[in-house]
Chain A
Amino acid sequence: MGYPHPSHPGETVVLSKYFGDAAARSFEGWVKRGGYEALKRALAMTPDAIVEEVKNSGLRGRGGAGFPTGLKWSFMPKGDGKPHYLVCNADESEPGTFKDREIMRWTPHGLLEGCAIAAYAIGAERCYIYIRGEFTEPLRVMTGAVEEAYAAGALGPNVFGSGRRIDVVIHRGAGAYICGEETAMMNSIEGKRGNPRIKPPFPAQAGLFGVPTTINNVETLSAVPHIINRGAAWYKGLCLGNPKSTGTKLISVCGHVQRPGNYEVTMGTPMKGLIFEMCGGMRPGRTLKAVIPGGSSVPIMNAEEVDRCLLDYEGVIACGSMLGSAGMIVMDDSTDLVYQIMRLTKFYAHESCAQCTQCREGTAWTSRILERILAGQGKPEDMQLLLDLADNMTGKTICVLSDSCAAPVVSGIQKFRGEFEAYLQGRRSPAMAGV
């Protein structure tokens, strides 16, 4: 992980190599560490060749969706005469996830280099980096890095004398999780409410300001220079599980482990190895109860599922959840799971943009039912009601915030029903005041 502890031997250190190394942040420091070679190399390639290389590497979107990156880039039209945009999604707001923040504050130039290569590959002359408003340190560090890059000719009208223009604009968010959804992010950059858009049209056809746009996550873009430097075959070879999941992933482990932090592992690494060896396992006297592996918008996993789970996109699906952004929330037996599920539904209710009926009303209603149960005022039919509402909230909205709210509720009831029944049957004393 590199910060605040040194990397564990079980990690595969690529993106996190300089986490904690303050000297790596400056332009000179980055160049000393081999930085900007990839950009120079990329500028000597054709955009198509870069897209091919990224396709062959098997890199998939690291923000949560896991969409093949090279394929996404190839959707951009060629020779259409319109401006193209690259948007770097640095809105990191998925509960449990804190990797992009580390990338930005320790290796800002690594991210800029990735943005520049991607912009060149998709025919974009401008890249907007959307950083969430609360990330005051990454904003400061990235702004400084951009200034340095311009001064050194790594950005601007003539990048490294290539004749290519690449501009970067840092855009500060203002407190809205939903702006991490790519179409909502585009609306936010355009000066609108952060409402997700209906698709079609897709961003590559009509995106930011109505022209072809690609949106990529910070971690995804940061991997690009490494792929250019060391080759697609190298990246593809980093694979311990399903061949469709390659490279490394920064897993943000938080909650009830001895050493929370970002752990960079090869795709396919066993989850239990990560939690019990690299993170030092549970706190003294505690046992593992549940893990939400992908940021909170995925089903909760129980200990048995954790035990057999391999950390890649397909592996986590096979164990009843999703890798998502890999914001891994570990909960031990001291956790009041019903309370935490309630708290998560309140998160979604707070962040709902208010467009779709099911999300706007359903997230709040769900959280109120859970509060009522926690206050000892639950009714037996509440279980079925929660499942019914979750079903009405799934697969019916413009974006998946609504589905994300339903996921912990459904998986919580399916795998931890006893915890709910303890409240319903009065075997557990109320955790909240009633209404």
Chain B
Amino acid sequence: MSASAHHGHAAGAPAAPYEPVFTGARKTRLEALFEKYPTRQACLLPALWMVQEARGWIPEQGIAEVADVLGLTPAYVKGVVTFYTMYHTHPVGRHFIQVCTTSPCNICGAEDVVKALLRETGCRELGATSADGRFTVAEVECLGACGFATPILIDDDFIENVTPERVPGLLQGYK
């Protein structure tokens, strides 16, 4: 999921002021990471994951905070964040659904799974968040489970062999 506008300005930015992520236990976790890589810069991907885990997405201030703790510039961090599609640079629903539609899954009905997901979640289109803020559905590339078509990810839950019929039941557990 990439920002729709240049400069990474978030669509629908949060009203609440940004609270730093790297305090307390997370700060300790980050410092433990410094032991595992010879440069601070190498801690960038893990640090960005930590921001996303804490805040659900990575706002501009998050980019600035990561840059600050790692001794990098915000522009540099932005170049990295926008390269990797799993980092969200704008807010998403409480539960983020990724569905693979690359050819191996495509020939096994992945596009029907997409339609079912959009219907059952109430999301207008791919990439949009449902009106109740519960779900965002994204179409992604090969998830590496082609023999278990169609795989989807709901948050960190990797679910195999999804069919349109299974979709309503699967979504129940995610409030």
Verify whether A and B have any Cβ pair under 8 Å: yes
- B-contacting 9-mer, from A30-38, A327-335, A396-404: A327-335
Cβ of A347 and Cβ of B103 under 8 Å apart? yes
Give the complex CA separation of A96 and B148 in angstroms: 11
**A177 interface hit (Cβ, 8 Å):** yes
10 more CB-based (< 8 A) A-B contacts, given A94-B142, A97-B144, A252-B147: A95-B103, A95-B104, A136-B153, A136-B158, A167-B36, A176-B83, A177-B142, A254-B149, A329-B104, A343-B106
Q: Which residues of the partner chain B approach A340 to less than 8 Å between Cβ atoms?
A: 103, 106-107
Residue of B46, B80, B146, B157 near A193 (CB, 8 A) is: B80
Q: Which residues of the partner chain A approach B42 to less than 8 Å between Cβ atoms?
A: 189-191, 209
**A264 interface hit (Cβ, 8 Å):** no
Task: Determine how close the nearest CB of chain B comes to the CB of A63; give it in whole angstroms.
Answer: 13
Cβ of A194 and Cβ of B153 under 8 Å apart? no
Please tell me the number of chain A residues within 8 Å of chain B, measured between CB atoms: 53
Closest residue of A by beta carbon distance from B83: A193
**B108 interface hit (Cβ, 8 Å):** yes
Residue of B41, B106, B158 near A137 (CB, 8 A) is: B158
Residue of A96, A132, A175, A344 near B146 (CB, 8 A) is: A96
Q: Most chain-A CB neighbours within 10 Å: which of B43, B144, B156?
A: B144
Q: Which residues of the partner chain A approach B156 to less than 8 Å between Cβ atoms?
A: 136
Give the complex CA separation of A182 and B44 in angstroms: 19
Task: Determine how close the nearest CB of chain A comes to the CB of B148; give it in whole angstroms.
Answer: 7
Closest residue of B by beta carbon distance from A195: B83
Interface residue ranges, A against B (CB under 8 Å): 92-98, 100-101, 132-137, 167, 169, 171-177, 188-194, 209, 252-256, 260-262, 292, 296, 327, 329, 331, 335, 340, 343-344, 347, 350-351, 353
Q: Which residues of the partner chain B approach A190 to less than 8 Å between Cβ atoms?
A: 39, 41-42
Q: Which residues of the partner chain A approach B106 to less than 8 Å between Cβ atoms?
A: 340, 343
Cβ of B102 and Cβ of A347 under 8 Å apart? yes
Residue of A174, A194, A254, A327 near B86 (CB, 8 A) is: A174
Task: Determine how close the nearest CB of chain A comes to the CB of B34; give it in whole angstroms.
Answer: 12
Cβ of B84 and Cβ of A93 under 8 Å apart? no
Complex interface residues of chain B between 129 and 170 (CB less than 8 A to chain A): 140-149, 153, 156-158
Provide 11 A-B residue pairs closer than 8 Å at the C-beta atoms, listed in order of the A residue.
Answer: A92-B144, A135-B144, A169-B36, A191-B39, A191-B43, A191-B45, A329-B104, A340-B103, A343-B103, A343-B106, A351-B141
User: Which 9 pairs from chain A and chain B are nearest by CB?
Assistant: A174-B84, A191-B44, A175-B86, A254-B146, A175-B85, A260-B147, A191-B41, A95-B142, A193-B83
Cβ of B36 and Cβ of A174 under 8 Å apart? no
Cβ of B146 and Cβ of A134 under 8 Å apart? no
Q: Which residues of the partner chain B approach A173 to less than 8 Å between Cβ atoms?
A: 45, 84, 86
Cβ of B141 and Cβ of A93 under 8 Å apart? yes
Give the complex CA separation of A98 and B85 in angstroms: 20
Q: Most chain-A CB neighbours within 10 Å: which of B43, B85, B108, B146?
A: B146
Task: Determine how close the nearest CB of chain A comes to the CB of B100; give it in whole angstroms.
Answer: 9
Cβ of A193 and Cβ of B158 under 8 Å apart? no
Residue of A137, A171, A194, A209 near B84 (CB, 8 A) is: A194
Interface string of B87-100 (1 = CB under 8 A from A): 10000000000100
Give the complex CA separation of A311 and B49 in angstroms: 40
Cβ of A176 and Cβ of B101 under 8 Å apart? no
Q: Which residues of the partner chain B approach A252 to less than 8 Å between Cβ atoms?
A: 146-147
Cβ of A255 and Cβ of B107 under 8 Å apart? yes
Q: Which residues of the partner chain A approach B108 to less than 8 Å between Cβ atoms?
A: 254-256
Known: A96-B104, A254-B104. A347 touches B142 (CB 8 A): yes
Known: A133-B86, A136-B156, A343-B106. A209 touches B146 (CB 8 A): no
Give the complex CA separation of A353 and B84 in angstroms: 10
Residue of B49, B85, B143 near A172 (CB, 8 A) is: B49
Give the complex CA separation of A133 and B141 in angstroms: 13
Give the complex CA separation of A174 and B83 in angstroms: 9
Task: Determine how close the nearest CB of chain B comes to the CB of A294; give it in whole angstroms.
Answer: 13
Q: Which residues of the partner chain A approach B12 to less than 8 Å between Cβ atoms?
A: none
Known: A133-B86, A171-B45, A296-B103. A93 touches B144 (CB 8 A): yes
